[in-house]
Structure 1
Amino acid sequence: MPPKTQKHETSASNKRKHNHLFNEKSPYLQQHAYNPVDWYPWGVEAFQKALKENKPIFLSIGYSTCHWCHVMEYESFEDEEVANILNENFVSIKVDREERPDIDNIYMTVCQAMTGSGGWPLNLFLTPERKPFYAGTYFPKTERYGNPGLIAILNHISNLWKTNKVSVLASSEQIVKVLQTTVNATGGETLTEETLRHAYEQLRDNFDLLYGGFGPAPKFPTPHNYTFLLRWWKRSKDPMALEIVEKTLERMGQGGIYDQLGGGFHRYSTDEYWLVPHFEKMLYDQALLAIAYTEAYQATGKTFYANIAKGIFDYVLRDMTSPEGVFYSAEDADSERIEGKFYVWTPDEVLNILGERDSKIFCDYYDVSNEGNYDEKNVLHVDKPLTTFAKLEGINLEQLQELLNKARKKLFAVREKRIRPNKDDKILTSWNGLMIAALAKGAQALNEPKYAQGAVRAADFILNTLRQKDETLFRRYRLGEAAIPGYLDDYAYFVWGLIDLYETTFEVKYLKTALEINKQMINNFWDEKGGGLFFNGKANEQLITQIKEIYDGAIPSGNSVALLNILRLNRMTGDQNLMKMAENIIKIFAETINQYPSGYTQFLCALDFAIGPTKEIIIASEPDQKDTKLILHEIWKRFLPEKVLLLHPEKDKSIEEIVGFIREQKAINGKATAYICKNYTCNAPTNNIDKIIQLIEER
């Protein structure tokens, strides 16, 4: 059974009549099921009502852990005055952007085009045919600090619809036309190593030398910026690329954006110092940041990065994992209607738990003061390295580490008794795919079998529960129901996870399934006319337009992830049709990416792989042999983003059904033997560990 989702404190379900969201499975929609606003879910019933009653649609898009979505609900959607205006003049529709990213993508594009910005809550007014004509984000109930009030907007839109509907319809048609022109990518340009260099230079020029990250506050993690920079550092040997990564990951790991007691990262930092976060925790951030920290550990060998990655994994496996072994979506920023309340401390609270001596050291190290750094309380953070602090305090380093470890455990135990933030317990195929990839990578680099076990459980659940008989995927699972045909992200992210899981466990079923789902993705999402992959596939609802996503924002685009998947599967199987498809994707998006390469850093990770040189490593041996494990350890502990890895055991030849060329690559003299090829040119097979290390370290 999933955990009980915290009852929305103002729903008053035992007093109020429910609206049309009552039977929805989404935690976000359930939060609004007892609003006086007569909300409908997105669907035919709402559209038909709007047509029949000749009313515009008020579309409100958000998600369950969105702080300002909660604020707008408290201020407006629980307010009888606002509800009466909406119910009388509009058909109101609520959408969970995490369940329906296709709807969110289209209408967010509209909002950004109309207003120059976007965010959530996302609020739009549509014709009954779903065509937008007015858009915005958060609106207070009444005008505040120059922000228009929702009541005034509703009255204005209602009057406009009744008195000048023709101009409204004309405006909506024009918006849709503009929207449709943004879909088509064009070929004609190429992407080269210079594209990678240009992206690096843009990131370098925007780098915050003092505090890490890019640009002013608020600062977002954007982990693929750092995984790209690590690849550029390895290619170019430019030390500044590595310095940017290390400075930022160190600052983030020491900052309040990282949960110093419980592990895991909050959504973003409200300041330039990575100190005070927006406190929600998203599964995709945990996955992508775990990958970034794991790769930084592989690249540098510094245990700090390994420890942060372990903190993320421990948090996810402890607090974000269902009894079935799959991963929940998010935790809220708020508890008891106060953002961050669950996470912050006063010196007196720490003193009461730790006693005078230990609390003084703890408060000094984590900068806990009477003045506070967040509403007179304290977000825990570290402002100096542990070794420096130990010298300043005159404390033995090992004793200090032991003291702080014990103190953290004591405070964590007390914190666990507080009222927790709401947990969004829906299961998303896409975000689970990212977490599977992260755990698989962590299992390799950190030599931790429980991470692989966690990835296997999640992958098997999705394959058994969210994969249909025709091999297509569902997007969401909650309360026993698998629903909503998967989008491009669901396919691309899950294939990513399966490839990494194969390279960790060498269970052939994961590679076989990755190839099958990748094929389904191409069949369902490929644009036969223009190339590239649509976000919506043949099984998805057809909206007012189709979008091809390529921008790598908070999460990487489906096309970017799919490109690297396709390239890796090509190298693993030798299927040249996959190579042609990858070349097509690179070509059609080249012009867009060349305009501002640093906006597409996950795509550039794939481009880095495509440019090469790549390494194909085949280990001919049994997986449980001691010498096999030694070779794998040497491979896994290194930062080798250019490699693919296959295992060819004698006892189980099922890999030969997928990778035909592997048949002749066998163990020599019963010893684990490495066949290492570089850009399709193979070295002589070897079972000498020093020679293997030399070959894998060659660029």
Structure 2
Amino acid sequence: MGDGKQGEDHVLRLSRVDTKILPPDGGPRYNRLIFCKSPYLLQHAENPVDWHPWTEEAFARALSEDKPVFLSIGYSTCHWCHVMERESFEEKDVAAVINRDFIPIKVDREERPDLDNTYMTVCQMMTGSGGWPLTLLLAPDKKPFFAATYLPPRSRQGAIGLVELLERVTQLWRSDRVRLLQTGEEASRALIRLDNQAGGEKAPDEAPLGKALRQYSEGFDERFAGFGPPPKFPTLHNVSLLLRLWRRSGEKRALEMALQTLHAIRRGGIFDQLGGGLHRYAVDRHWLIPHFEKMLYDQALAVPAFLEAFQASGDVALARAAREVLDYLLRELAHPEGGFYCGEDADSEGAEGTFYLWTPAEVEEVLGKEAGGLFCRGYGICEAGHLEGKSIPHRAGEIKDLAEKEGIEPGALEAALAEGRRALFEARQNRVRPHRDDKILTGWNGLAIAALARGGAVLGDPEAVEAAARTADFLLARMRSESGRLLRRYRLGEAAIPAFLEDYAFLLHGLLELYQAGFVPRRLEQALSLAGEMDELFSDDRGGYFDTGRDAETALVRGRSSQDGALPSGASLACLSLLRLGRLCGDSGLEKKGERLLGSLLPQVVRHPAAYSQTLIALDYALGPKSEVVVVAAPGGEPPDHLLQVLRGRFLPHTEVLLYRPGDRCLEALSPLVRGKEPSDGRAAAFLCREQSCQKPVTDARGLESLLDEISA
């Protein structure tokens, strides 16, 4: 596969010869993708397939040559994308069929979520399922008439192969094109109907929350935790919702499902026991065997879920899990100038999971026979293994049970296992690492800002808050066009692609979390500006939001993604952020925008609420009871840590916090809540405000605890 840096080095010395690009030294041939910045597209730059990136030039060529388009959508760390590349796109005979009869286009779904969402919806409508690589055939007008996911190169076991499919479609294109185009017209009309479904509003009430709790309860895996059959995805915004359902209803079942799921994930092979961080998903019911890729957004969504569960339960193991995820994020995915890379591949050395797997002999070589044997028993590493004779480290049982069996004090056992993890982690660093997708995406980085800010605040880690601030500054300075328009992707010094709704919404969410971690008023100013841009670009003028800006290219439709899958939808997080920003700034107009957006989403939510967890988090927030705490610093302006620690130790999903240093004209202009509030007898004070009315201030931790007990009851 092509290497991104190698591709950059060749750009200046390549020449175009017909549709292929030939280096003068007789080295490997390159196609048009060599001029792209996407690591995924660069991986395919040496394919014999005559790939185009998604451009109008490609569709113009399809029209002029009277050929259909072969569209392939995937991403850099996708295992099955690599498989299809090896089997088909690197094979000259398969490439010859594609090049002869089609105009091939390759798309990075992470750069272009709009295209991915549009054509994935088509695939799901046509086949009932979806996934990556996503394979479509389009007419030159971009209308799809065939959709599938992974296809083998040749037919096998009753499944049609890529070559046979393309040859059959070529025959139909020449002899019965009307039938193919009819399919495309029907699919396009269905997309337009979906796009226009948004309309009307539903008043918020608690009914969808209760229905969601019942659905989660019915789908809960009582033995191994999590929801539904394998494959099991973390989808930890579901856990965040369950914590809110517990807080609202008092149903212990909701809290138990949340905690059991988090502990099962932390103990399982889906969690990297040596280096921290979550893998993409588990293929089995036990959370043991993961699909090994690691995505930035999974890490970013895991941190607040673990931290909120820690606040709700007091279980410090959950706070440690959040710390381990943050450590991985900062160690392996951080860009030196600010920002975070997309993730790491599942494959290394030509196979999936090689970097993460161990045999007992490999463990003992590092730790010695006695310590190695103990570690293997503690982490389930056995001779039989789990994948091709090798084992995935996972917690094989409770510490107290293992300690009793081994005749060791639990504390001594924990220390021994921790030392084993450290030594094996260092040894693992000498292995060939999986490929890292080093592009920076604005939306995913917005989630990372939120995770770092929340983690830094709750765990008392100013370096994490600083990393969040550095990332926000990087995005706001480097991820903009000359006109100031926010952009989607940054790599190798280039920012490009107009940002989508999820980029604006996720960054807005990150800025709000960053404000509440460091209480720098400038972050509220930035959030207000971003919210205004978001409304201008994406509003449909009926209360809803499109995924694509009014100034950007669209494929067939502008799209409206409302379901919360592995990632929350842009609309759901935009809704919550508008409600929060309106509260923090006392701006009823912003709150009304959030309420209208929520109302536009609810008609879809009521049918299957468990599929809309982030929207239900916004609904729970909108229903309240709402409160704000204004913490006023004492003369001198030092943060009153004794009061902030109380607030950060509590699970307060409906409470916003402002820190006011008397005389701060900037914050006074941004938020009327702080005006007129002063220290109490020269001491820092906390004012609890509910329904535009503030109680008498308290100055000590115990007094604040008592006030918070009232709103938590």
TM-score category by the smaller chain? over 0.9
DSSP-derived class of the 1:21 partner: helix
1:556 corresponds, among 568, 571, 574, to 568
2:154 corresponds, among 122, 138, 142, to 142
**Aligned counterparts of 1:479 and 1:574: Cα–Cα separation in 2:** 41
The Cα shift of 1:481 comes to: 0.2
1:405 corresponds, among 418, 442, 456, to 418
**Aligned counterparts of 2:90 and 2:475: Cα–Cα separation in 1:** 37
1:662 corresponds, among 656, 674, 677, to 674
Tell me what 2:31 maps to.
Answer: 19
Q: Which deviates the most, 575-584 or 593-602? A: 575-584
Tell me what 1:502 maps to.
Answer: 515
CA contact (8 A) 1:618 1:674 kept: yes
Tell me what 1:304 maps to.
Answer: 317
CA contact (8 A) 2:213 2:245 kept: yes
Higher relative contact order (CA 8 A, sep 6+): 1
Tell me what 1:431 maps to.
Answer: 444
**Aligned counterparts of 1:684 and 1:469: Cα–Cα separation in 2:** 49
2:599 corresponds, among 565, 575, 587, to 587
Tell me what 1:322 maps to.
Answer: 335
2:262 corresponds, among 249, 261, 269, to 249
The question of 1:486 aligning with 2:499 is answered yes
The Cα shift of 1:4 comes to: 7.3
Q: Structure 1 unaligned runs (5+)?
A: none
Change (3 A) 1:206 1:461: same
Change (3 A) 1:286 1:627: closer
DSSP-derived class of the 1:544 partner: coil
Tell me what 1:603 maps to.
Answer: 615
Equivalent AA in structure 1 for residue 517 of structure 2: T
The Cα shift of 1:470 comes to: 4.5
Tell me what 1:679 maps to.
Answer: 691
**Aligned counterparts of 1:388 and 1:186: Cα–Cα separation in 2:** 57
Change (3 A) 1:23 1:267: same
Tell me what 2:11 maps to.
Answer: none
The question of 1:457 aligning with 2:470 is answered yes
Tell me what 1:379 maps to.
Answer: 392
CA contact (8 A) 2:77 2:293 kept: yes
Tell me what 2:93 maps to.
Answer: 81
**Aligned counterparts of 1:325 and 1:623: Cα–Cα separation in 2:** 34
Could you state the TM-score of these two structures normalised by the residue count of structure 2? 0.95
Residues 30-41 of structure 1: matches in 2 within 5 Å? 30-41=42-53
CA contact (8 A) 1:5 1:27 kept: no
Q: Which deviates the most, 205-214 or 677-686? A: 677-686
CA contact (8 A) 2:153 2:162 kept: yes
Residues 625-664 of structure 1: matches in 2 within 5 Å? 628-664=640-676
Tell me what 1:209 maps to.
Answer: 222
CA contact (8 A) 1:60 1:123 kept: yes
CA contact (8 A) 1:85 1:154 kept: yes
Tell me what 1:107 maps to.
Answer: 119
1:656-690 superposed Cα distances (whole Å, 9 cap, x missing partner): 12113422122222211112112333212232432
The Cα shift of 1:468 comes to: 4.2
The question of 1:284 aligning with 2:297 is answered yes
DSSP-derived class of the 1:187 partner: coil
Q: Structure 2 unaligned runs (5+)?
A: 9-20
1:621-673 superposed Cα distances (whole Å, 9 cap, x missing partner): 15986771110010011111111111110253311121134221222222111
Equivalent AA in structure 1 for residue 447 of structure 2: L
The Cα shift of 1:307 comes to: 1.1
DSSP-derived class of the 2:202 partner: coil
DSSP-derived class of the 2:117 partner: helix
CA contact (8 A) 2:631 2:659 kept: yes
The question of 1:236 aligning with 2:249 is answered yes
**Aligned counterparts of 1:385 and 1:6: Cα–Cα separation in 2:** 48
Could you state the TM-score of these two structures normalised by the residue count of structure 1? 0.97
Equivalent AA in structure 1 for residue 536 of structure 2: N
Change (3 A) 1:480 1:627: closer
**Aligned counterparts of 1:429 and 1:178: Cα–Cα separation in 2:** 30
Equivalent AA in structure 2 for residue 448 of structure 1: D
Tell me what 2:134 maps to.
Answer: 122
Equivalent AA in structure 2 for residue 35 of structure 1: N
**Aligned counterparts of 1:504 and 1:422: Cα–Cα separation in 2:** 33
The Cα shift of 1:15 comes to: 3.6
**Aligned counterparts of 2:22 and 2:360: Cα–Cα separation in 1:** 36
Change (3 A) 1:622 1:39: farther
The Cα shift of 1:610 comes to: 0.3
**Aligned counterparts of 2:398 and 2:453: Cα–Cα separation in 1:** 30
Percentage identity across paired residues of the two chains: 45
The Cα shift of 1:507 comes to: 0.9
**Aligned counterparts of 2:455 and 2:135: Cα–Cα separation in 1:** 39
Tell me what 1:192 maps to.
Answer: 205
**Aligned counterparts of 1:588 and 1:345: Cα–Cα separation in 2:** 50
Q: Which deviates the most, 203-212 or 467-476? A: 467-476
Change (3 A) 1:16 1:624: farther
CA contact (8 A) 1:446 1:637 kept: no
1:76-114 superposed Cα distances (whole Å, 9 cap, x missing partner): 000111111111100000000000000000000000000
Change (3 A) 1:166 1:61: same
The question of 1:352 aligning with 2:362 is answered no
CA contact (8 A) 2:538 2:550 kept: yes
Tell me what 2:288 maps to.
Answer: 275
1:449-485 superposed Cα distances (whole Å, 9 cap, x missing partner): 1111111111111111113464431111000001111
Change (3 A) 1:519 1:434: same
DSSP-derived class of the 2:232 partner: coil
Equivalent AA in structure 2 for residue 169 of structure 1: L
The Cα shift of 1:169 comes to: 1.8
Q: Which deviates the most, 392-401 or 226-235? A: 392-401
DSSP-derived class of the 1:595 partner: coil
**Aligned counterparts of 2:209 and 2:328: Cα–Cα separation in 1:** 34
Equivalent AA in structure 2 for residue 669 of structure 1: D
CA contact (8 A) 1:41 1:95 kept: yes
The question of 1:96 aligning with 2:108 is answered yes
DSSP-derived class of the 2:160 partner: coil
Tell me what 2:13 maps to.
Answer: none
The Cα shift of 1:539 comes to: 2.6
**Aligned counterparts of 1:25 and 1:243: Cα–Cα separation in 2:** 45
CA contact (8 A) 1:618 1:646 kept: yes
**Aligned counterparts of 2:295 and 2:346: Cα–Cα separation in 1:** 10
**Aligned counterparts of 2:6 and 2:517: Cα–Cα separation in 1:** 37
DSSP-derived class of the 1:401 partner: helix
**Aligned counterparts of 2:186 and 2:416: Cα–Cα separation in 1:** 65
CA contact (8 A) 1:363 1:369 kept: yes
CA contact (8 A) 1:29 1:96 kept: yes
**Aligned counterparts of 1:671 and 1:46: Cα–Cα separation in 2:** 68
Tell me what 2:17 maps to.
Answer: none
1:409-432 superposed Cα distances (whole Å, 9 cap, x missing partner): 111111111111000000000000
**Aligned counterparts of 1:611 and 1:623: Cα–Cα separation in 2:** 37
Equivalent AA in structure 2 for residue 74 of structure 1: R
Change (3 A) 1:489 1:188: closer
Tell me what 1:166 maps to.
Answer: 178
Q: Which deviates the most, 313-322 or 659-668? A: 659-668
Equivalent AA in structure 1 for residue 238 of structure 2: N
Tell me what 2:405 maps to.
Answer: 392
